[in-house]
Amino acid sequence: MYILTTTSSFSINEFPDGLNVIHNPYKRKLTGDEIKDLIIKYQPVGIIAGVEPLTREVMMAAENLKVISRCGIGIDSVDMKAAGELGIKVTITPEAPMISVAELTIGLILSIIRKITVLDAGIRKGGWKGPKGNLLWGKTVGIIGCGRIGTYVSRLLKAFGCDVIGYDPYIKEHEICRMVGFEELLEKSDIISLHIPYTDENKNIIGAAQLKQMKPTCLLINAARGGLIDEDALYEALKNGEIAGAALDCFAEEPYSGPLTKLENTVLIPHMGSSATEARIMMEKQALDNLIKGLEEFGII
């Protein structure tokens, strides 16, 4: 019996006896055709998945597949309807990336508000003086999505002396955030941070109209998922001074090489939210545990 680890990297090799493990040979995000070819070749009973597209077509090629164990928190890369119809169990590792993504979010906020990357670039070009930044203390921060990660980010922001407001269509009361409507959050926030999954409903939830509702001093942060922000509209808003800056860890198309790279009022990093050593180890262990439990439920091991 075969197991595929299709996430870009997987370091744990503590699989039960009787399972032959095939690791991602490309060491990067797989295309739909690449993962389909691997599935046809090995016909795995389980997959430890990254963010590659597990579409209906891909899963239909997997005659023996019983468990997809996502090494991460999102399921937007998996056709959940198809998985249900095909009897494939899908699991995630929601606790493992929480601290890592939350800490990175704070890092992005501090980088953009204190202009750390601009000052660093100035020194590397032979300069010394640079633009003044602003304090995080006293700012109103709007959290869009108040689940695990949004809540942890809120807790960290409170320690910085921020007024934290939140919007989440599924949460009316929150232990930390003062919950408000979407429009109010856009209008009142000095900083807005996204912590929602990518869905058809959430696609470009921040577009040209929403950017115009923000303060001209507002900073926009996305360490959640690409596709939540209309990047063309964001470029125009940043270029024209409609908002002050943006810090992004994820993009609609990755690797990203678009026009936002030409602006000084952006901080751009290559989808590193959960890429802390400790968090990655925790995610891999949880993904393996989920895979084993799932295979045990089906009586495969």
- Look up the pTM and report it: 0.85
- Collect contacts of 199-203 with beta carbons under 8 A, ≥24 apart: 199/76, 202/227, 202/228, 203/227, 203/228
Question: C-alpha angle 208/164/209, rounded to 5°?
Answer: 10
The arithmetic mean of pLDDT across residues 67-95, rounded, is 94
Question: What pLDDT score does 70 carry?
Answer: 96
Percentage of the chain modeled with pLDDT above 70: 100
23 catalytic per annotation: no
Closest CA to 115 of 126, 101, 129: 129
Q: Which residues pair with 266 in a beta bridge?
A: 246
Flag whether pLDDT at 95 surpasses 90.
no
Q: From CA 23, how far away is CA 40, in angstroms rounded?
A: 15
Question: What pLDDT score does 249 carry?
Answer: 98
Instruction: Give the containing element (helix H, strand E) for 148.
Output: helix 148-159
Question: What pLDDT score does 67 carry?
Answer: 98
271 catalytic per annotation: yes
Question: What pLDDT score does 124 carry?
Answer: 97
Place of tokens 């999954």: 197
Task: Tell me which CATH homologous superfamily contains domain 2-92+277-297.
Answer: NAD(P)-binding Rossmann-like Domain (3.40.50.720)
Flag whether pLDDT at 284 surpasses 90.
yes
The arithmetic mean of pLDDT across residues 247-259, rounded, is 96
The alpha carbon of residue 16 and the mean position of all alpha carbons in its chain are separated, in whole angstroms, by 30
Percentage of the chain modeled with pLDDT above 90: 94
Q: Which of 34, 70, 195, 225 is catalytic?
A: 225
Closest CA to 266 of 213, 227, 229, 212: 229
Question: What pLDDT score does 76 carry?
Answer: 86
225 catalytic per annotation: yes
Q: Which residues pair with 70 in a beta bridge?
A: 49
List all residues 6 or more positions away from 260 whose beta carbon is below 8 Å from its beta carbon. 231, 234, 235, 238, 246, 248, 266, 268
- Work out the pLDDT band at 72, boundaries 50, 70, 90: confident
Q: Which of 57, 63, 95, 254 is catalytic?
A: 254
Closest CA to 252 of 279, 274, 234, 275: 234
Question: What pLDDT score does 210 carry?
Answer: 98
Domain with CATH 3.40.50.720 in the chain: 2-92+277-297, 96-268
Q: What is the mean pLDDT of the chain?
A: 96
> What secondary structure letter does DSSP report for 15?
P
Task: Tell me which CATH homologous superfamily contains domain 96-268.
Answer: NAD(P)-binding Rossmann-like Domain (3.40.50.720)
List all residues 6 or more positions away from 45 whose beta carbon is below 8 Å from its beta carbon. 1, 2, 3, 19, 64, 65, 66, 67, 295, 300
The arithmetic mean of pLDDT across residues 184-195, rounded, is 98
- Work out the pLDDT band at 73, boundaries 50, 70, 90: confident
